[in-house]
Amino acid sequence: MAEVIQLSSLPKVSNFQQSYFDFADKNHFWCQWRFEIFKKLILSIDISTTKPLRILEIGCGNGIVRDQIESYTSWITDGTDLEISALQKNPQLRGKTYLYDISEKQKEFESLFDGIVLFDVLEHIQNTSDFISQIDFHLKPGGWLFVNVPAGEYLRGAYDDVQGHLRRYNKILFRQEFKNSNFQVRKLTYWGMSLIPLVLLRKILLGIKEDKEEIYRLGFQPPADWFNSCMKFLMKTETMILSNPLCGTSLMSIIQKNG
């Protein structure tokens, strides 16, 4: 496991469902699907995967995405989170693992990073304008911001509540988040269109549940290995056929900071 470098005092417990760090792993179909979309987007915009770019993942959790990125690229991927228990699950990687609150804007990190990864974090943030300004502080001019968020407010249900989701996005709302910022949205795509019926079914079935742990487990953990395998097949089929779905359960973007 990675050494955790503590730069901030221990924060208050967040509203994020801690079971995610137990259930989520690189074999989970959704984690693989999200990373496949990420790979397609960075290739489409010709961002080098062979240069040792310095990347920071904000809200890195247990390090799944960092591990995926470092396995696929030559990037050095640092990670930061406010959950010490999650950080302690990070594997040993090329990058460093920090307990660090980006709102502190520590001088050593100013304009340090070539890229910042923000996967399934923005929907938890109340004041997104201040948060985007904090990201700006850490990113080099011309640097890249990679963002993934849940999509479709009509899909909101009990699962979103236990996850602490304040909103689900569409393309218009997402672009508005960066409208008055120092960033330009370069790529923006929905993904997981074929998951919409399943998420709607999840919304109905979990609506009658009360136990938060049960809602999370049933809403995220595949019920069996065969189900996980079927979802991976669905992923391959959709990503092969649909290059730019009209809708989806998630929305991913590549954003560039002005030079």
- Which residue, 46, 51, 55, 45, is CA-closest to 77? 55
CA distance linking residue 24 with residue 143, whole number of Å? 29
What pTM does this model have?
0.94
Contacts of 50 (CB under 8 A, 6+ apart): 73, 74
Fold of domain 4-257: Rossmann fold (3.40.50)
- At residue 21, the pLDDT reads 63
Query: Once rounded to an integer, what is the mean pLDDT over residues 75-83?
Result: 96
Assign residue 63 a region (left: φ > 0; alpha: ψ between -120 and 50; beta: otherwise).
left
Instruction: Give the mean model confidence (pLDDT) for residues 230-237.
Output: 94
Q: Which long-range contacts (CB under 8 A, 24 or more apart) does 235-244 make?
A: 235/29, 235/32, 235/33, 235/36, 237/194, 238/191, 238/192, 238/193, 238/194, 239/33, 239/36, 239/37, 239/40, 239/191, 242/193, 244/189, 244/190
Alpha helices in 73-224 (DSSP H): 84-87, 128-138, 158-163, 171-177, 196-206, 212-220
With bands split at pLDDT 50, 70 and 90, how would you rate the model's confidence at 20? low
What's the rounded Cα separation, in Å, for the pair 134 and 58?
Answer: 11
What pLDDT score does 212 carry?
A: 87
d(CA 153, CA 171): 12
In tens, the pLDDT along 138-185 reads: 999 999 999 999 999 999 999 999 999 999 999 999 999 999 999 999
Residue-wise pLDDT for 50-71, tens only, equals: 999 999 999 999 999 999 999 9
pLDDT score at 11: 59
Mean pLDDT of the chain: 93
Residue 235 has pLDDT above 80, yes or no: yes
Question: pLDDT at residue 103 above 80?
Answer: yes
Mean pLDDT of all residues in 180-207: 96
What residue segments make up the domains of the chain, in order of their start?
4-257
The two tokens of residue 49 are 């995967």
What residues are paired with 189 via a beta bridge? 252
pLDDT at 116: 98
pLDDT score recorded for residue 48: 95
Crossing angle, helix 196-206 and helix 212-220, to 10 degrees? 160
The angle subtended at Cα 159 by Cα 189 and Cα 149, nearest 5°, is 20
